[in-house]
């Protein structure tokens, strides 16, 4: 029986490359020359910490980082931008956790979308992976197309296609 898995993950090496190219661009930017900016990637917790003199520089750093991630093939929605920046002495810091995995509420929403599409497939939640099985590969491809066209907050990848 054909099946595939729906996951949400970020390649660690691509993320590291994106952060490194963003650091190079920041060092060459004229508008950020005097600003004491810093971009750190904690690989263990998958968190990017941005440090700058003021919040306007933080917003510029976020824009640069997202543009570099997109050029590396990483979806910009994989960064959690909901956390507010906070003051740490004379500088402002902002932590950007990298989203990995699909949480329970989003899994339920995706399964509901699949069930409401009236396609002859079954969706099962397995931790942070959703496995979709069906009798025809065409039905599975229709599910992929439907999920791509839906406006979800999480970047999705379709892996482990078996026929």
Q: 89-102: string of b/e by CB count within 10 Å (b at 16+)? A: eebbbbbbbbbeeb
pLDDT tens-digit readout, 19-40:
999 999 988 888 877 778 889 9
Q: What is the pLDDT of residue 111?
A: 92
Share of the chain above pLDDT 70, in %: 100
Residue 64 above 80 pLDDT? yes
Q: pLDDT confidence of 68, banded at 50, 70, 90? A: very high
Q: pLDDT confidence of 70, banded at 50, 70, 90? A: very high
Domains 3-8+101-162 and 12-97 share a fold: yes
Tell me if the domain spanning 3-8+101-162 has CATH number 3.30.70.860. Answer: yes
CATH class of 12-97: alpha beta
pLDDT tens-digit readout, 72-129:
999 888 998 888 888 888 889 999 999 888 889 999 999 999 999 888 999 999 888 9
Token look-up 């029986």 returns 1
What are the domain boundaries of the chain? 3-8+101-162, 12-97
Instruction: Provide the 3-class DSSP secondary structure of residue 90.
Output: coil
């Amino acid at each position: 029986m054909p099946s595939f898995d729906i996951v949400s993950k970020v390649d660690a090496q691509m993320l590291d490359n994106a952060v490194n190219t963003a650091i190079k661009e920041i060092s060459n930017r004229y508008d950020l020359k005097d600003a004491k900016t810093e971009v750190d990637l904690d690989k263990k917790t998958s968190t990017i910490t941005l440090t700058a003199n003021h919040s306007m520089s933080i917003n510029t750093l976020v824009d640069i980082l997202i543009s570099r991630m997109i050029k590396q093939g990483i979806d910009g929605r994989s960064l959690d931008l909901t956390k507010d920046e906070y003051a740490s002495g004379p500088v402002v810091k902002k932590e950007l956790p990298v989203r990995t995995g699909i949480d329970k509420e989003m899994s339920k929403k995706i399964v509901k979308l699949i069930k409401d599409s009236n396609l002859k497939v079954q969706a099962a939640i397995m931790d942070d992976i959703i496995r979709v099985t069906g009798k025809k590969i065409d039905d599975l491809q229709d599910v992929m197309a439907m999920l791509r066209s839906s406006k979800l907050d999480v970047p999705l990848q379709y892996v482990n296609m078996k026929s």
